[in-house]
Structure 1
Amino acid sequence: MKRFRLGLIINPLAGLGGSVGLKGSDGVATQAIAKGAEPKAQLRMQQALEVVLPFKDQIDIITASGAMGHDLAQQLGFNTECVYQSANITEAKDTQSAVKALINESLDLLLFAGGDGTARDIYSVIEQDDTALLPVLGVPAGVKIHSGVYAITPHAAGVVVEMLLKRELVSLMDADVMDIDEVAFRQGVVKAKRYGEMQVPAEPRYIQAVKMGGKEVDELVLADIAADVISQMEDELYIIGSGSTVAALMEELNIDNTLLGVDVIHDQTLVASDVTAKQLIELTQHKPTKLVITLIGGQGHILGRGNQQLSAELIKQVGKDNIIILATKTKLKALEGRPLIVDSGDPELDRELTGYYKIVTGYHDYVMYQVANPDLSES
């Protein structure tokens, strides 16, 4: 039986800036490490590959050296071939060079871990090679995950590979490669751009949609949502997540808001702004705390997209019952019945967070909506 040839690329620096509030990793990896950030991309890829460990005798992994894939694949016991020697500290050109080497290896699928910048680097090579009809699948490991080439979680990426290994009928579809200007992003401005398309397995349960752009324009609804939360505020710390829906709450409170970061308030007063994951743990330890978040339009993620400061450790500390989710009904309807998704980096915690939540959709107006990662519910 023909062995499955799986190309593997890990961007070791992906997501470094997220937990320390740098809104990305492009050009700030050294700064992120100095602030205490720890690489997560290897772990994210490991979570994907562990799903297909029972099939490892059917898989050949073709990859780049060291932290770009070879070390992890060998550690997990896969038959591994290295076709590109990377630098000790990798750059975008290493991803691009690795893809150039992998294109000629008759791959069945290229699995990569990174963010939108990594997707762009891969696309920049594939678009220049007319013969490179290479299916790809992203394991989300970056801060920015606007592109439609990513699985909804690392585990979901593994499930899709498992489907291919089982010879299930999986179609291919074209998915957008998107990225934003990180310099503008750190200043609170989102400038998204479509760069092109790559082919991905067409499994809508497990592959994320492209993020819906645009700011909520129904200001009356947002004001009603904010008023409901304010009317029920208690003598506790409130962690205020990112996004325009949550920003409306801060606007009603007349408090400066970090649109693309995380703030902490108490007694309707700002305690700390644009905080890191470590600072959040320190600020909230042994203190009653509520977490206020919203979902990413079109995708449905409430954790793990643009708010990596909300670490698994923090979520456990705060507790599931202290999570407040805000959303307009328009945003929920746009999901067309798909559940909300959590991607905390801890699959066991993600399982614990599943269930029905009371979503604040107006003043004293709520809907029950399900958090149910499809990949976890079927594993």
Structure 2
Amino acid sequence: MRIGFLVNPVAGMGGRVGLKGTDGKVAEARARGAEPRAPDRARRALAALAERAPEADLLAWGDPMGASLVREAGFDPEVLGSPAGDDGGADSTDDEETDADDTRAAVAAFREADADLVVFVGGDGTAADVAGSLAGSGVPMLGVPAGVKVYSSVFGVSPEDAAYVAATFERTERREVMDIDEDEYREGEVTPELRAVAHVPVAERLQSGKQTSAGTVESLAEGVADDVRARPETTWVLGPGSTVGEVKAALCFEGSPIGVDVYRDGEVVATDVAESEILDALGEDNVIVVTPIGGQGFVFGRGNPQLSPAVIRECDLEIVASRDKLDDLRVLRVDTDDPELDEALRGWVKVRVGRFERRMMKIV
């Protein structure tokens, strides 16, 4: 199998520093101390691919878009070009900024070189660029999730799952590529738009597209608010989403609908915070309140990168969701960028669905 492998080196950089995305915000993300996320996600996918399909022929694009990472995993890739237009031989994996034209050029080269599959590391914006370049070719695409927002159903659940799908799939199906306007997203408007329909390998280890779910959550929110008021010394880290937004409303404040807010002892400590601000605000007793993404079931790793492994390890976990949302989910998922933490979080958990009621769900 010939696999074109491509990395968007700045995908996901804006997440932990509270930018909700990286489109047009790379310089600001760096100024806030953001670290590249995509290269490590690529390493995980490539290591798993090398284990499952060491005989695969890999096509690559010059650094920082993946060539050295592919070599690092033990493959001898055919490097078809680079963002700078040279032979891509430099052994650099820095996070210099590339753009959509670089992505499209790489995918066009993979297509011309008869790739059987294009695997990309990025988010929804990268997926839209890849799908556009593959339109009409029938060549399937598969995403390694690395962006802040991952609404499309063309991604593996984790880097390792993406590698498993790439190594084992036998057929493809058409799936939707969705994206949202990041400026509107930062203002609290979440309106996913269909950008393309792409051929994608068929496998259970692909995430579903994000869906919206209706359900009455007022009593659930009041129950959480009662707990918050009963524990004034506890620091409450309140994640994004409409369900947790109802909790914030029950506590009589208007928080960030797509950001993370911190609350303690009857007061809002901070709103729309980045990872570093959350860590600064934590005390001896801390609780994260988070809701899974509807249709996908991710508790961590989609839309809330501010809730980093360092933050999660300092907190107890309260998962809240409407009954309708859970009815649409078979399992819950996590993808924290820390495989050991992901493993520790897996297992059966109680999800609050009412003022007092809870439902058992499994994190896989």
User: Any stretches of 5+ residues in structure 2 without a counterpart?
Assistant: 85-95
* Among candidates 227, 232, 235, match of residue 232 of structure 1: 227
Report how far residue 56 of structure 1 moved: 5.5
Q: How do residues 75-90 of structure 1 correspond to structure 2 at under 5 angstroms? A: 75-87=72-84, 88-90=96-98
Q: Does 1:46 align with 2:40?
A: no
Alignment CA distance shift 1:349-1:257 (3 Å): same
Report how far residue 57 of structure 1 moved: 4.0
Report how far residue 10 of structure 1 moved: 0.4
1:95 partner amino acid: T
Following the alignment from structure 1 to structure 2, what is the Cα–Cα distance between the partners of residues 58 and 370?
Answer: 35
Q: Does 1:341 align with 2:364?
A: no
Following the alignment from structure 1 to structure 2, what is the Cα–Cα distance between the partners of residues 86 and 213?
Answer: 38
1:233-273: per-residue Cα shift (whole Å, max 9, x none)? Answer: 21200000000000000011111210000010002310011
Following the alignment from structure 2 to structure 1, what is the Cα–Cα distance between the partners of residues 300 and 182?
Answer: 20
**Residue in structure 2 matched with residue 192 of structure 1 by the alignment:** 192
Following the alignment from structure 2 to structure 1, what is the Cα–Cα distance between the partners of residues 276 and 100?
Answer: 28
Following the alignment from structure 1 to structure 2, what is the Cα–Cα distance between the partners of residues 162 and 95?
Answer: 23
Q: Number of aligned pairs?
A: 350
Q: Does 1:250 align with 2:248?
A: yes
Report how far residue 137 of structure 1 moved: 0.6
**Residue in structure 2 matched with residue 167 of structure 1 by the alignment:** none
Q: TM-score if structure 2 supplies the norm length?
A: 0.93
Following the alignment from structure 2 to structure 1, what is the Cα–Cα distance between the partners of residues 117 and 109?
Answer: 14
Q: TM-score if structure 1 supplies the norm length?
A: 0.90
Secondary structure in 2 aligned to 1:77?
Answer: coil
1:50-93: per-residue Cα shift (whole Å, max 9, x none)? Answer: 11223564022101101211010111211111112114531111
User: Any stretches of 5+ residues in structure 1 without a counterpart?
Assistant: 165-169, 373-379
Report how far residue 139 of structure 1 moved: 0.3
Following the alignment from structure 2 to structure 1, what is the Cα–Cα distance between the partners of residues 132 and 50?
Answer: 31
Report how far residue 317 of structure 1 moved: 2.2
Q: Is the contact made by 1:21 and 1:276 (CA closer than 8 Å) also made in structure 2? A: yes
Q: How do residues 24-39 of structure 1 correspond to structure 2 at under 5 angstroms? A: 24-39=21-36
Q: Is the contact made by 2:166 and 2:201 (CA closer than 8 Å) also made in structure 1? A: no
1:187-230: per-residue Cα shift (whole Å, max 9, x none)? Answer: 01112100121111111x2101110036x4x4xx3110111112
**Residue in structure 2 matched with residue 288 of structure 1 by the alignment:** 285
Q: How do residues 289-368 of structure 1 correspond to structure 2 at under 5 angstroms? A: 289-318=286-315, 322-335=316-329, 338-368=330-360
Report how far residue 124 of structure 1 moved: 1.8
Report how far residue 315 of structure 1 moved: 1.2
Q: Does 1:110 align with 2:118?
A: yes
Following the alignment from structure 2 to structure 1, what is the Cα–Cα distance between the partners of residues 128 and 178?
Answer: 8
Following the alignment from structure 2 to structure 1, what is the Cα–Cα distance between the partners of residues 54 and 338?
Answer: 27
